[in-house]
Structure 1
Amino acid sequence: MGPDSVKSLALELGFSAVRICRADEAWEAGERLAEFVADGHHGSMGWMAETLARRQHPTAMWPDAKSAVVVGLNYGPEQDPLPLLERRSEGVVSVYAQNADYHDLLKKRLKHLARAFAEKTGQQVKVFVDTAPLMEKPLAEKAGMGWQGKHTNLVSRDFGSWLFLGVMLTAAELEPDPPERDTCGSCRACLDICPTDAFPEPYRLDARRCISYLTIEHKGVIPLEFRAAMGNRIYGCDDCLAVCPWNKFAQTSAEMAFHPRPELKGPLLAELAALDDAAFRQVFTASPVKRIGRDRFVRNVMIAIGNSGDAQLIPRVEDGLTDEAPAVRAMAVWALARLDRGRAEAAAGAALEVEADEGVGAEWRRVLALSE
């Protein structure tokens, strides 16, 4: 099975794009990753430092790898997601997470491709979909599928910033495609729209300031400086992706699996705040949202409520003040102070007498300090 046959089969399986590159050549991506970790820009994602050596080059994962077949699946949204940010009583879930977990669909198709390739060629293969220490985006750039834009995500001439990526490594030597040229030019749209200034410079991301990191990876209380900027984003952030000018060439995904589930396209904050663990698991069955757990998710919802300006949501915030999860209680305190400072000040004294968690206590003490 040659390069053309591999590509044809990949497209038949429903992938939107497929390209090939050498997996055993030198590249600069490993050095950039090492700098990212050395600068501490990975935040609390300790696994990035722990697996750094394996991430720095594809052959570190598999010494016999010669070629990489990179596949992409278009998940372009039906509508621009940015207007949802103005509907403050609703929560915004990142486009990629509004339906089933894409890892499952990509891996199923990629395994089908790998199995057919191995049977035809007798060559060994390994497949990767974002869950192993392999850098898919640099490989996709090297294969000519697109280029890593100033927001560090892949940009495609055909699909803009909306591509899921998967990789099949093989010991076979396949003819590579030419790499893509970076055509971001002088555009700064993705950098300038970032609500938390998470890009210290073009092509560099400080994950510690990124709303996607804060709402998904970060545990515990969200740092004060980022809460207002989060707005109503309760899982991920699409701003830098959605504003990319190359999206005008992207077509809406034909994959029904990635059409938004109605309950996840502008879900009401009032309903999300009331989710207990069982209800959370039911709502987000098979969704990538499920992996962060109910407590972290409702923590995000409390921040969104605090940013909503909607006093009718105060009863939900008050419910959060007695939640079992300290992070939820802490963010409920902040939300109450945002929506009704007087009510928060009146509740602070009694709350401090019974609050055992230092983080939550610090939020109540901040309320009192602001009233002095």
Structure 2
Amino acid sequence: MEKAPVDAEMIQLLTPEGKRVEHPDYPLEITSEDLRGLYRDMALTRRFDTEATALQRQGELGLWASLLGQEAAQIGSGRATRQEDYIFPCYREHGVAWTRGIDPLQLMGLYRGSSNGGWDPNENNFHLYTLVIGPPLLHATGYAMGVMRDGADMAVLSYFGDGASSQGDVAEAFTFATVNNAPVVFFCQNNQYAISTPTRRQTQHPISRRSAGWGFPGVRVDGNDVLACLAVTRYALDRARRGEGPMLIEAFTYRMAPHATSDDPTRYRDEAERAAWQRKDPIERLHRYLTESGQADEAFFDAVADEGEKLAHHVREGVRAMPDPPLTDLFDHVYAEEHAVVEEERAEFLAFQASLEAENPGGTTRYR
């Protein structure tokens, strides 16, 4: 096993060429079974993510935010948690959801508009998605402060992106976390673009260095290296449980897909950049390592591919079978009590709906 440079700024345990290296601060002992499990997690997550994108293009989902290229960051960090730990995602953490036992269909119900969340966060200690960037860190910090006061043996993990790092909510979360010594880990997936704004327009230094201003450690990890993400996140969570306070992890990765299915990335990034990152593909590098080290054979990879097709079928049929929610649900639960303006808007909508049905008697009126 090769030695990685001790002074390397970015933590790496598996090179893009599929070579295993060591790091003195983040050792990782892992079995062949666990390695194969990580590969399976990433491959299946990519498969249902790809299927969701296709379903959106077919009009079955209103929107989809793909994680393509970020599988290692999400699977590695997700598998570093214990069941009792609590996770606060943003809106792209489909791989983390997978590690917590969330059915991908529950994620897609939100993007189809069939539900406002889709799962009970207390069943899996995985909070509902938050489509506004930044606030999950505040939620996580508050939860971690409660955990600390309860004396619970657990940690809290919160996700955000490079774009969210410029939000005031993130700075506020850092402040509350450090002055309260809260057991929370902040995991930034720096995928290089906040929609169309490149990271260089937001900072001239690694995001991981920002924690120094608040007095807690930060580290940059190769976000396409599932082993490094696993080892560093496990270290940070263990540290939090020991009462040593917050830590920031910047997973340096790349969003291979558009920001969401409404985005056209060709307008702000060139293909050469994407091709360079393609050579660092997180799944391919683990495939190489497993193959060259003799820890997996073609039968294993074929079995995972077959399982992926079954999962895609499950997702495809499940999404198409989801009922459309009553459109008047838009007006429910806006306020705790009845509100005159909302009721007026509901009446106007019902009148509009009736006019469409009158124009198309016996037909089906859809709003997509």
Shorter-chain-normalised TM-score: which range? Answer: under 0.3
TM-score between both structures, scaled by the size of structure 2:
0.25
TM-score between both structures, scaled by the size of structure 1:
0.25
Larger relative contact order, structure 1 or 2 (CA cutoff 8 Å, min sep 6): 2
